[in-house]
Structure 1
Amino acid sequence: MDPFVAGIVSLFVIISLVVLGVRVAYAAGITGLFGLVLLIGSRKARDGGVLDWIDAGWSAGAGLAGTLAHSEVSHYSLSVLPMFILIGFLAYYAGLTQGAFRCARAWLGWLPGGLAVATVFATAGFAAVSGASTATAAVFSRVAIPEMLKYGYDPRLAAGVVAAGGTLASLIPPSAILVIYAIIVEESVGSLLLAGFIPGAVSAIVYAAIIVIRCKISPDLGRPVAGLNWGERINSLPGMMPIVGVIAIILGGIYTGWMTPTETGAVGAFIVFCMALARRLATGQGMTRTDFRDAMMETSKLTVMIFTIIWSILIFVRFLGFTGLTTAFADWIVHLDVAPVVVVILILCVYIVLGMFMDGIGMLLLTLPVVHPAVLALGYDPIWFGIIVVKMVEIGLVTPPIGLNCFVVNGVRPDIPLEQVFKGIWPFVVADIITVAVLIAFPGIVLYLPHLMLANVAG
């Protein structure tokens, strides 16, 4: 069996399985396992048939796949994932969202489409303690959409801004998907997390600008909130302090080098828990014992799901490494007679298409083993490319037919039809494309904080 041909065939097999509805973890694991078995077996039983190859290669192939669960998934860097996931669930059950939204409303409600603008920055703030896009969309579907509809906002704008705002959790630390990218490509988790902060803020600003421009042109989409005063603004600030505190701990700990990303996650989770406990003791509101148990259970379930996907994809990645397909693809990309930026744009277009049919984690795990070496061969920074790719994952979270965040918003607010939710996200997709163009043109926006961190550590 020719290894290169086997690699090409395996890509078609796994894509076909995913299109047919097989979960990416199972599709990748099964394809990778049988690929390893057949490849090893074909070398041991050169003159035999497929059944002979399976018989000859099963022990070694299955053994190799089995050892990956410990040798790769037990890395210390992966321990950051459950910590960041726990922060998100604790923040959700602690009710930190209401204070963030009230503060954003008080300070930004005077703008055209002010409540939608407030929703963008409130979701950005909550994203900095949640790290989960769907959780952010679900929470603000309950908090922000009723307020916007109460003030007569267009339901498409109200639903669209919540779905799009939720995607900011993929970019703003503590982002689980940035951690997964760092692990796949073996880059610094701390550098990736810091790199996502400024692009996340830029994304929020571009979203807000799109809203203001649209509502200025068509005031009926969303009008300013009247009657806001400075007293209300000042009084709203304490509601944002818990989120600001967690952001400062996560970014400050990583930037100064005082704590590893895992340690910042653990400290952040403990502080959010203490905030929730203090609120419960002081007001009788917030996280109950049942909520805490649910937060721990949901964290465990999501962590197991992510680790299962990682293990399965690693089996497939190990098989691809044996085929030599990734090296051949990188060599082919380097020798293309086009500008490197054209290659990057074509790769991003592929991500847009894949994002319509696959979840973000599966998409990264499936494509990066092939794409990442090629991008490095073109001379691009892997940290910069990681942020660009995650922006494409954000677009996939809101584009049909999958558009997971849109389904979440519709699930929480069934009174807003799914078609209306999808109609509401397109201006934000345009905003994301604008942001990606800016980040491609000015890579320093992405690399500024990571370079500062390296200089600080070196100094």
Structure 2
Amino acid sequence: MRKRIRALMAATSPNTEMKVVPVLSTAEKTEVATTSPAAAPAAPGKSSQIGSWAWVIALFGGGLLIAAYLLLGDPDRVVVGALTVVLMLILMLGGIHIGLAMVGAGGLGLYSLGGAPALTTTLEQGTFDPAATWQLSVIPTFILMGTALWKSGLTSRAFEAAKMWLGNVPGGLALTTTISGAGLAASSGSTIALTHALGRVAIPEMLRAGYKPGFAIGSTAMAGTLGQLIPPSVLLVVYAGAAQTSVGSQLMAGIIPGLILALAFCLYILAVGITRPATAPRTRQYFTLRQKMKGLVKVIPLAVVAFVVIGGIASGLFTPTESAAIGSVVALVLGWFTRNDGSNGLKDFFAYVKGVLVVATVASAGIFLLLIGVHILTRVVTLSRLANSLTDMILDIGLNATGFLLILVLLYLLLGMFMDTMAIILLTVPILAAPLMALGVDMIWFGIFLVIMVEIGMVTPPLGVLSFVIHRIAQDREVNHGQPISLTTTFLGVMPFVGVALGIAVLIIFVPDLVTWLPGQLSVSN
């Protein structure tokens, strides 16, 4: 118990920022553990220790008071729903896994609303129904696909090919990073894995070419955010499960906004390269057409996987589940035959497959635990009529859909500073679904808007996890070439790109057809 309290104190020291830990692969967890502020030792001092104890006492005391009131008191139904959400947040801030926090807080809420029968029935159904949904089998296959491509080294090959074609234009290497990110996003569903892979390759190249460190880091971090907008996207599939929308339509809805966002980043980079050449200089490297074509040949496996997944879904030839399954097999096979590690033989092949499966299984299990938790939380929100009360309040105020969405932009920016992307989606969708539908907001459109906003939250200070991943990568001398890069430089570097992404989020509010047109033209099944 004493060790647990000391660990909690270290994680909640006033000299550190707290972040709800996302569901990551084993490799990603290692990177985040070494980059998040919680990994840094707290500064010694009596005042720091007093502040830590005060925070721990306040956190546990508040949670115990809410739990006692839910169990022993007689609160109003709406109050039960609100207190359940608050208790869940307290548990997450205390270091409890998001899924377990939802199950624990939701269980107390259900007991307060309907007693033991309601709790027992929901737990029996809630541990099976969310995980036994056929359309959500897309999640483990998408994760398997992205892991296979990541481990095969296709990231560096895609970057090298793009550099041959774009490196000599203003801001060319940053353009290369963004376009590589968009291309890799079409075959990998993990933002952090994509950012990690791009950062190792792109940042040293840009610094070697004379790029300003902040611009090099900012362009790399934001290129990684494309990973959850352009399908395949695990976040979009999770959102579809939480909002009960079509998985196929939800994935197709992300294509045009994802390409627009990539184009907006490219235009900004090109403008900086032209107006401020000292910030993003040309590489002055020239390649023959023969060399450029050879570079393109090396990324054919990546294009094949993207074509199988996106083309299969868009054409109606495959369902999203079938496309993901076929794409994962294709990625495994092509990843093995195009790897760079020099391994051969049946034994090496099984080791490669085992490594991919272990990472994909761990990540998938964590996500399904989240889905079980959101099922229970949704049940509490429904029984407590919290969402109905919120809907009535919004309608009474007289807000229209546009005004409400602009308020949500500010809300999600705030939540993104303190919470993980998956937690934001699973917390807010059950609460906001009823008000949004009452205002006439298309829930497929809202999924794209929400993913853009939570991806922005992954880089914004003070707790954007991608910024810490990139900052940690930039501390490696092989990456920074001896240039000290501070966390302040990292945050300042991403902020202009955040402004561009916010502009696209506002654009789709006023022009929703940019999201809804493509899925409306396609006949996509689940």
Q: Tell whether the structures are fold-level matches, with TM greater than 0.5.
A: yes
The change in CA–CA distance for 1:116 and 1:223 in structure 2 (over 3 A counts) is: same
Q: CA deviation at 1:63?
A: 4.1
One of 119, 144, 152 as aligned partner of 2:177: 119
Does 2:432 match 1:338? no
- Cα separation, 1, equivalents of 2:474 and 2:352: 22
- Residue 376 of structure 1 and its aligned partner are, at CA, apart by 1.2
Deviation at 1:101, TM superposition (A): 0.7
Match of 2:217 in 1: 159
Contact 1:279 1:285 in 2 (8 A): no
Q: Which residue of 2 aligns with 1:106?
A: 164
CA distance in 1, matches of 2:491, 2:179: 21
Count residues in correspondence. Answer: 440
1:116-155 equivalences under 5 Å are 116-155=174-213
Assess if the C-alpha contact under 8 Å between 1:102 and 1:239 holds in 2: no
Which residue pairs with 1:189 in the alignment? 247
Does the 8 Å contact 2:167/2:173 carry over to 1? yes
CA contact (8 A) 1:93 1:292 kept: no
Superposition TM-score, scaled by structure 1 size: 0.91
Partner SS state of residue 397, structure 2: coil
Counterpart-to-counterpart distance in 1, 2:304 and 2:111:
51
Aligned to 2:29: none
Aligned partner (choices 306, 310, 335) of residue 251 of structure 1? 310
2:296 matches 1:237? yes
Q: Whose helix fraction is larger, Structure 1's or Structure 2's?
A: 1
Alpha-carbon shift at residue 315 of structure 1 (Å): 1.2
Give the structure 1 partner of residue 80 of structure 2: 6
Distance in 2 (alpha carbons) for counterparts of 1:23 and 1:150: 40
**Do 2:102 and 2:377's aligned partners in 1 also have CA atoms closer than 8 Å?**
yes
Secondary structure of the residue that 1:220 maps to in structure 2? coil
Q: Which 10-residue stretch deviates more, 280-289 or 258-267?
A: 280-289
Say if 1:171 and 1:390, in contact at 8 Å, map to a contact too: yes
The one-letter code of the counterpart of 1:223 is: P
Q: 2:110 aligned with 1:36, yes or no?
A: yes
Report what 2:148 is aligned to.
90
Q: What amino acid does structure 1 have at the position aligned with 2:260?
A: V
CA distance in 2, matches of 1:212, 1:390: 26
Distance 2:282 2:293 in 1: 19
- Equivalences for residues 24-423 of structure 1 within 5 A: 24-41=98-115, 57=116, 60-229=118-287, 230-280=289-339, 289-415=350-476, 416-423=485-492
Instruction: Report if aligned partners of 1:137, 1:162 keep a CA contact under 8 Å in 2.
Output: yes
Is the 2:186–2:232 contact (alpha carbons within 8 Å) kept by the matching residues of 1?
A: yes
Change (3 A) 1:422 1:372: same
Distance 1:63 1:195 in 2: 36
Three-state SS of the structure 2 residue aligned to 1:231 is helix
Structure 1 unaligned blocks of 5 or more: 42-56
Q: Per-residue CA shift, 1:85-143, capped at 9, x if unaligned?
A: 00110000111112211121122212211101100010111111111000001101111
Conservation of the 8 A alpha-carbon contact between 2:257 and 2:515: yes
Question: When the two structures are superposed, what TM-score results if normalisation uses the length of structure 2?
Answer: 0.80
Identity %: 34
Confirm or deny: 8 A CA contact 1:131 1:176 kept in the other structure. Answer: yes
SS at match of 2:303: helix
Tell me, yes or no, if structure 1 residue 444 matches structure 2 residue 513. yes
Tell me the residue number matched to 1:46: none
RMSD: 2.1
Structure 2 counterpart of 1:422, which letter?
Answer: F
Cα deviation for residue 233 of structure 1 reads: 2.3
